[in-house]
Chains A and B, each alone.
Chain A
Amino acid sequence: MTPLLQVKGIEKRYGARIGCADVSFDLFPGEVMGIVGESGSGKSTLLNCMAGHLEPDAGQVIFDTRADGPVDTVTMSEPVRRMLGRTDWAFVHQHARDGLRMSVSAGGNIGERLMAVGDRHYGDIRDRAIDWLGRVEIEESRVDDRPSAFSGGMQQRLQIARNLVTGPRLVFMDEPTGGLDVSVQARLLDLLRGLVREMGLSAIIVTHDLAVVRLLADRLMVMKSGHVVEAGLTDQVLDDPQHAYTQLLVSSVLQV
């Protein structure tokens, strides 16, 4: 089986400081990988390098495209990478307002991505937008409201709908449940898990919440000071951590 994504020796420096260095892994279709680590450990830098938001100083991010097979996305042309970002890739930001157009209606936010890939029939676009609002549990009657009138949890669900409407194969998520209260978090987790299974998505989730990765991720990568210190099956890394930092991280979680 060809990996969907092959990351090879990714490195990003901010001057003399290391953002992330020497990160390599393969992600296979249908796999969900979590990246954990404390603030400043380089997880968001890594995610942004993989998603093409930051240019890495070294390394390759090879994606198995539908048309041409594995292609290095770091060296591909900007328009091609942007097209990938609108079709096969999706990026869920921690703050929904970074991933939404706040002055456009909820339906418009979802429809925009469809129009970007060539859909032109207004009725179809609206129907699909309404269908997706339903899947993320937002009432149809809110389709013409602006996201600024939505609660934080609803904005996050709208952002997910906007991202998934074009049927991406790889979703990058940066703290998707951060800043939401726990009941909304649970709902979002349930939703994400269902979508991952139904659509056969692969996903890379950056978070500092170990409970979230245990429920969502098949595999886990632990980062510290820009380096991957441990990687493996999620429950193995959490139940039998090998590295000193992972042991500290796991033992620092407060029991509820």
Chain B
Amino acid sequence: MIELINVSKSFTLHNQGSAVIPVMQGASLKVAEGECVALTGASGAGKSTLMRVIYGNYLAASGRVLVGDLDVARAEPREILALRRETLGYVSQFLRVVPRVPTLEVVAEPLLAVGCDKQAALDKAAGLLGRLNIPERLWSLSPTTFSGGEQQRVNIARGFAHDYPAMLLDEPTASLDAQNRETVLSLIEEAKARGAAIVGIFHDIEARSRVCDREINVSEFTPGMAA
């Protein structure tokens, strides 16, 4: 479902003496349906960079980044938008929303974007918010005023609203209490069971060993840091 073939990435800082910083080289990996792969490596090794290359917000310098049939490294913006709408979900560490939109609609939005019936979308959103212990009295408020942990759970609910065939998870269990962590882990297990291919970053070793089938150490792809 997700396949990287010999991908490299570097940043050119034009305004700082045109310094070229190579951050990734020869990255290849393959994630099948129903499989969850953890990215590991020290901070700065390029775990998040790799995820962003897959999601298409970092432009790969060379190589192929295949999600389904689409090569993200070469696709047109509208192809990537369609991919993100239907196929590839991303749970980032930060919630970014339009101010004033109620939490329930923030969570339902990915479903509405794929043409789901409004009531069905809101029902599913409500179910997820309930499972993630966001009190019902907050659902009609914008999440911008929520606490950090609440925002993160809203973000997770939104990320799991649509059943994406491929998902990227950036520390989904960070800073969650035991009960919510358990809920997130079961959401991941359910996604795997329905056949989603998942790439994740988990600093929580216990969570990693429970949901992940394999680990990939991204240090192997870091130029000058090859293990």
Please indicate the chain A residues that have their CB under 8 angstroms from the CB of B80 in the complex.
233
B23 to chain A, nearest CB (A): 11
Known: A31-B78, A190-B98. A236 touches B13 (CB 8 A): no
Asked if B15 and A190 make an inter-chain contact with CB atoms under 8 angstroms apart, the answer reads no
In the complex, the answer to whether A239 meets B15 with C-beta atoms within 8 Å is no
Binds A, one of B56-64, B173-181, B202-210: B56-64
With A190-B101, A218-B78 as given contacts, are A244 and B15 in contact (CB-CB < 8 Å)?
Answer: yes
- Do A186 and B57 touch across chains, with their CB atoms under 8 A apart? no
B13 close to A189 (CB less than 8 A): no
Contact A239 B99 (CB under 8 A): no
Tell me whether A53 is interfacial, beta carbon within 8 Å. no
Total number of A-B contacts with CB less than 8 angstroms? 53
Q: How large is the interface on B (under 10, 10 to 19, 20 to 34, 35 or more residues)?
A: 20 to 34
Give the residues from 1 to 58 in chain B that come closer than 8 angstroms, CB to CB, to chain A. 11-15, 52, 56-58
Report the bound CA distance from A243 to B18 in whole Å: 11
Chain A residues positioned under 8 Å from B59 (CB to CB): 232, 236, 240, 242
How far, in whole Å, are A242 and B123 apart by their CA atoms in the complex?
A: 42
The reply on A248 being an interface residue by CB < 8 A is yes
- Least CB distance from A49 to B in Å reads 22
Task: Using A232-B77, A239-B58 as known contacts, say yes or no to A247 and B100 having CB atoms under 8 A apart.
Answer: no
Say yes or no: A240 contacts B57, CB within 8 Å: yes
Shortest CB-to-CB span from B22 to chain A, Å, is 14
Q: A247 near B57 (CB under 8 angstroms)?
A: no
Within 8 Å by CB of B57, from A28, A193, A239, lies: A239
Let me know if A227 is at the binding interface, CB within 8 A: no
Chain B residues whose CB sits within 8 angstroms of the CB of A214 once the complex forms: 96
Residues on B with C-beta less than 8 A from A240 are: 11, 52, 57-59
- Interface assignment of A116: CB less than 8 Å from any CB of chain B: no
Given A189-B98, A197-B112, A236-B56, decide whether A244 and B81 contact each other with a Cβ distance below 8 A. no
B contact residues around A233 at 8 Å (CB)? 56-57, 77, 80-81
8 A-B residue pairs with Cβ-Cβ distance under 8 Å, sorted by A, are: A186-B99, A214-B96, A218-B81, A233-B77, A235-B57, A239-B52, A244-B14, A247-B14
- Supply 8 further A-B pairs (C-beta < 8 A) apart from A236-B57, A248-B14: A190-B100, A215-B98, A218-B77, A218-B81, A233-B81, A235-B57, A244-B15, A247-B14
Residues of B whose CB lies within 8 Å of any CB of A are 11-15, 52, 56-59, 77-78, 80-81, 96, 98-101, 112-113
